[in-house]
Structure 1
Amino acid sequence: MQAVAAAPQPTTTLASGAESWPFTVERSTPSIGAEISDIDLRKPLDDDTYLALRRALVKYKVLFFRDQDVTPAQHVAFARRFGELEIHPVFRHHPDHPELVMFDKSGENRGRENIYHSDVSWRELPAMAAILRCVECPEVGGDTIWVNMAQAYANLPEDVKTRIADLRAVHDIIPTFSVAIAPEKFEEIRRNFPPVTHPVVRTHPESGEKILYVNEAFVTHLANYSQVTGFRIGSDFRLGELDLLQYLYRQAAAPEYQVRLKWRPNTIAVWDNRSTHHYAVQDYFPAVRRMMRATVIGDKPV
């Protein structure tokens, strides 16, 4: 994978008081999301604008940009400003830019992303951010929902926070992607991407927020549930583990933590993959919905 220079890191935090932005910011909901205007993503970002965008991303968790008619090369260049880009092992890539994943949904290829998830949490180093551009979409339908998982954690009852503080979850690529993996590639994918464990509660490396970091697309079980919580008799611990996981998964579905985007062509969404889940609503079949996504490699959750 091509190495890139390290992106400059922001020097202010969420606690630094009122922000001054070199672009226009309009909040989408009280809990998550902001629409950014007066910026042209076709042009290279200077350091001040990049750092401001990164601060806004950490603060609002997903940023929306309208009317950004970027080329695939410009899309990659903008995404690379945030860090090194991954190449997805399963999804179809752009022929000239392997960093760009192609989502081409229609009557011939129905979407399957209608599940709350955090991208590539099955990697040892899950994504820091993703940059998704709408190429073509239905007149209505095909919206995407993002969820503030820091707020989902903050609002958990204190006894639940205590229960999950030391738990670790197992994330696996296979259960969700097995239908898309060619049989001859299955063993290679399994060998290259074994299950990984991440903390159920991770700490955001820039904001310091605690984040509920389990998702129903990729988490298969809790690695240390019985060691941490114990059990009453026999295999009763397994039922307790499943009940707890279902309770944690359901937190993402609370509308109070969500923002919903109606796509238009040349809309770009940039989200902090560390602190959010998202859900692509599959209500548009058999209409056409075409998207391109670049994904920024992140750090090991702690």
Structure 2
Amino acid sequence: MQNTIPQSKSVAPAIIRPSVLQHSFKVEICTPTIGAELSNISLADAAQDPALIAEIRALWLKHKVLFFRDQDITPMEQQHFAAQFAELEAHPLAPSHPEADKLLMLYRNLDPSKPKNYVEKASRENIWHADVTYKKAPPRGAVLRCEMGPESGGDTIWSNMVMAYENLPQAIKQRIDGLYAKHGAEQTFGAQLPREERLAMAEKSPASEHPVVLTHPETGEKVLFVNSAFTTHFSNFFNFEDIRYGQDFMPEAQRLMNYLTSQAMIPEYQVRLKWRPNTVAMWDNLQVQHYAVADYGNAPRKMLRATLVGKPLV
């Protein structure tokens, strides 16, 4: 008797579309204040799916900084993913990656012949800051990937400057309402340059003025927008009622500026990331400040950053 059970036909393997990922990636909240880690997702595939990019963007705006682990992608794939959120720009004062012209190379301690302290002289990342706020249009955000890092140390911390504003005393909110501040690069990037080079750099990258309290262009939230690295002084601070002599004026302004820039240091506003190779962090440069902890000595480190172009704030 012949077997009457029909033989199964040969079927081509199914093609899993990247859009399927939007139903399966996981979101883990890092702290109640800031940060979320997304897992079970490939950024290379995500870049091909507009719906998934829209989901990531909504999470980015909500949590301010997103983390992705195990992203074994090429520099061009990183650049292509970042380009889904905004036009990209090269750093105005630093070199780009040879394979991806919009990626900034944050490479440290790769040449053992260099003096021990050469990185410290060139780096200003272990200070609370938002990126390049001395431009009229500061970057909208960044996508940073770790290629190689130290066995321990080298964490990055982000601070929620929306919450920093929300929690200010009401009297301080009233005092800074309508204030503007100057942001410059000369005192940070140019401080160790010979005078002629420093002046040339300042001319090429002049200071800009931004509101102390920024209204975020997408969320409408108010953000405390001053930082220790680039903000130099208030542009329109005055208090004629309490000034006896001219010497009363500047101490009050500087004390207020110091108080405002110190808000990023409050732990309750922060999230801290321990980097591993192929970890990616994506942050909103208008909503957060960050601090790259420089505690890894001369251990080599390779990071690649894509910078999202922003729009003028004033």
Asked if Structure 1 and Structure 2 have the same fold, meaning a TM-score greater than 0.5 normalized by the shorter chain, the answer is yes
Match of 2:218 in 1: 206
Structure 1 runs not aligned, ≥5 long: 1-19
Q: Please tell me whether residue 46 in structure 1 is matched to residue 22 in structure 2.
A: no
Q: Is the 8 A contact 1:166 1:228 kept in 2?
A: no
Match of 2:174 in 1: 162
Q: Say which one has the larger Rg.
A: 2
Q: Please tell me whether residue 75 in structure 1 is matched to residue 75 in structure 2.
A: no
Counterpart among 166, 172, 175 of residue 187 in structure 2: 175
Secondary structure of the structure 1 residue equivalent to 2:307: strand
Q: Is the 8 A contact 2:153 2:293 kept in 1?
A: yes
Shift of residue 37, structure 1, vs aligned partner: 1.0
Which range moves more in the overlay, 201-210 or 181-190?
A: 181-190
Q: 2 CA distance for matches of 1:181 and 1:22?
A: 51
Q: Is the 8 A contact 1:164 1:201 kept in 2?
A: yes
Shift of residue 24, structure 1, vs aligned partner: 1.1
Q: 2 CA distance for matches of 1:163 and 1:189?
A: 34
Q: Percent identity?
A: 47
Match of 2:13 in 1: none
Shift of residue 193, structure 1, vs aligned partner: 1.7
Match of 1:239 in 2: 251
Shift of residue 191, structure 1, vs aligned partner: 2.5
Q: 2 CA distance for matches of 1:42 and 1:48?
A: 14
Counterpart among 125, 130, 142 of residue 113 in structure 1: 125
Which range moves more in the overlay, 207-216 or 226-235?
A: 226-235
- What is the total number of aligned residue pairs between the two structures? 283
User: What is the one-letter code of the residue matched to 1:25?
Assistant: V
Q: 2 CA distance for matches of 1:156 and 1:186?
A: 36
Q: Please tell me whether residue 138 in structure 1 is matched to residue 150 in structure 2.
A: yes
Shift of residue 164, structure 1, vs aligned partner: 0.3
Normalized against structure 2, the TM-score is what? 0.85
Label 1:82 to 1:230 Cα distance change in 2 as closer, same or farther (>3 A): farther
Q: Please tell me whether residue 31 in structure 1 is matched to residue 43 in structure 2.
A: no
After TM superposition, the structure 1 = structure 2 runs for residues 240-255 of structure 1, keeping only pairs within 5 Å, are 240-255=252-267
Structure 2 runs not aligned, ≥5 long: 1-21, 110-115
Label 1:220 to 1:268 Cα distance change in 2 as closer, same or farther (>3 A): same
Q: Is the 8 A contact 2:184 2:231 kept in 1?
A: yes
Q: Is the 8 A contact 1:112 1:282 kept in 2?
A: no
Secondary structure of the structure 2 residue equivalent to 1:225: coil
Q: 1 CA distance for matches of 2:78 and 2:214?
A: 29
Q: 1 CA distance for matches of 2:240 and 2:286?
A: 25
Q: Is the 8 A contact 1:134 1:263 kept in 2?
A: yes
Q: 1 CA distance for matches of 2:69 and 2:192?
A: 31
User: What is the one-letter code of the residue matched to 2:63?
Assistant: Y
Shift of residue 183, structure 1, vs aligned partner: 6.9
Match of 2:101 in 1: 98
Shift of residue 300, structure 1, vs aligned partner: 2.1
How far does the alpha carbon of each residue in 1:204-257 deviate from its partner, in whole angstroms, 9 at most, with x for none? Answer: 111111000000100011111127987342231111011001100110000000
Shift of residue 192, structure 1, vs aligned partner: 2.7
Label 1:256 to 1:73 Cα distance change in 2 as closer, same or farther (>3 A): same
Q: Is the 8 A contact 1:21 1:52 kept in 2?
A: no
Normalized against structure 1, the TM-score is what? 0.88
User: What is the one-letter code of the residue matched to 2:27?
Assistant: V
Which range moves more in the overlay, 20-29 or 73-82?
A: 20-29
Q: 1 CA distance for matches of 2:192 and 2:274?
A: 27
Q: 2 CA distance for matches of 1:118 and 1:229?
A: 34
How far does the alpha carbon of each residue in 1:60-83 deviate from its partner, in whole angstroms, 9 at most, with x for none? Answer: 000000000111111110111111
Shift of residue 89, structure 1, vs aligned partner: 1.6
Q: 2 CA distance for matches of 1:180 and 1:58?
A: 37
Q: Is the 8 A contact 2:148 2:301 kept in 1?
A: yes
Label 1:22 to 1:194 Cα distance change in 2 as closer, same or farther (>3 A): farther
User: What is the one-letter code of the residue matched to 1:39?
Assistant: I
Q: 2 CA distance for matches of 1:73 and 1:48?
A: 21
Shift of residue 265, structure 1, vs aligned partner: 0.3
